[in-house]
């Protein structure tokens, strides 16, 4: 039995008695300028979704990636990693291309990619949304479309900025779950469901480390998982926005926090 199977079976098992431990989840932040000062920020929706799933979110500064031994030290104190979305994009140099990314956040690129590699090596649960999924693709050796809407055959996956802010996060297109994967096991009652869409970049080529979990109507990859890992899932949409009212979003956050709790419990045995 591989790590992924054993974790999923424990999550789904009626015989498994989970502890009341609340997993500590490291959450990446984005660089912004506030009052002319550099700042690191994270949208409260991400933190609320983790709190609602009975986890404890902790924001992670970019400087961790520049301090020797800091990544390993912080991961020894965490039960999981959550990679948020962001207005910024992954720089093309991170996946072997040239050019300038106008909406760049190099500090986040550096931290997220280092976290992903260490997390996967250590078998720590990971959940990634939107930019976070793109970081997962890049960190495992894949590439991105820099502007999906300019690619022949693909629809425009960006939000409609003419709508009120909250309506930009409404469900706008379906995704189809691929059979036999992590999403199919976590969401057995769904084969197809609606998601929001607020991204310009998208997965172009995946490495053999990743499995396609869901696709959009235009066949753009909408979700991926890491092979032979207890729980490492990336989704291209924003599940945090409706994590209390949307059944799929709630199930995904609950499953992530359950995987983090199970890993903690097993390490205590």
32-89 residue pLDDT tens: 999 999 999 999 999 999 999 999 999 999 999 999 999 999 999 999 999 999 999 9
- Calculate the CA 158 to chain-centre distance: 18
What's the CA gap between 208 and 195, in Å, rounded? 26
Residues 49 and 239 sit within 8 Å (Cβ to Cβ): yes
What's the CA gap between 217 and 247, in Å, rounded? 21
Q: What is the mean pLDDT of residues 182-194?
A: 95
Give me the long-range contacts of 240-248 (CB less than 8 A, separation at least 24). 240/43, 240/45, 240/46, 240/48, 240/49, 240/84, 240/129, 241/45, 241/169, 241/196, 242/169, 242/196, 243/45, 243/48, 243/49, 243/52, 243/53, 244/52, 246/171, 248/187, 248/190, 248/193
187: domain range? 3-268
What is the secondary structure of 13-54 as a DSSP string?
-SS----S---EEEEE-EEEEETTEEEEE--HHHHHHHHHTT
Tell me the catalytic residues: 130, 238, 240
Q: What is the mean pLDDT of residues 96-124?
A: 96
Percent of the chain with pLDDT over 90: 92
| Distance linking the first and last C-alpha atoms of the chain | 19
Point out which residues pair with 31 in neighbouring strands. 40
At 212-254, the pLDDT tens digits run: 999 999 999 999 999 999 999 999 999 999 999 999 999 999 9
Q: How many domains are contained in the chain?
A: 1
CATH number, residue 22: 3.40.50.880
């Amino acid at each position: 039995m591989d790590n992924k199977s054993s974790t999923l079976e424990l999550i789904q098992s009626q015989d498994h008695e989970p502890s009341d431990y609340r997993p500590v989840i490291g959450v990446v932040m984005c660089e912004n300028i506030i009052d002319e000062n550099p700042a690191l920020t994270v949208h409260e929706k991400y933190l609320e979704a983790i709190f609602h799933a009975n986890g404890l979110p902790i924001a992670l500064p970019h400087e961790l990636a520049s301090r020797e031994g800091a990544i390993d030290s912080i991961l020894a104190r965490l039960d999981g990693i959550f990679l948020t979305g962001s207005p910024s994009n992954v720089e093309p140099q991170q996946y072997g291309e040239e050019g300038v990314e106008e909406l760049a956040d190099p500090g986040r690129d550096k931290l997220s990619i280092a976290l992903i590699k260490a997390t996967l090596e250590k078998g720590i649960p990971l959940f990634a949304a939107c930019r976070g999924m793109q970081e997962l693709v890049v960190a495992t050796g894949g590439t991105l479309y820099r502007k999906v809407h300019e690619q022949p055959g693909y629809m425009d996956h960006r939000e409609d900025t003419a709508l009120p802010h909250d309506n930009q996060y409404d469900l706008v297109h379906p995704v189809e779950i691929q059979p036999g994967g992590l999403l199919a096991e976590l969401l057995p009652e769904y084969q197809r469901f609606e998601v929001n869409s607020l991204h310009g970049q998208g997965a172009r080529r995946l490495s053999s480390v990743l499995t396609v979990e869901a696709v959009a109507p235009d066949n753009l990859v909408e979700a991926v998982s890491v092979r032979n890992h207890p729980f490492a899932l990336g989704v291209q949409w924003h599940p945090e926005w409706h994590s209390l009212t949307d059944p799929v979003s709630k199930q995904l956050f609950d499953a992530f926090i359950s995987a983090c709790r199970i890993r903690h419990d097993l390490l205590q045995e």
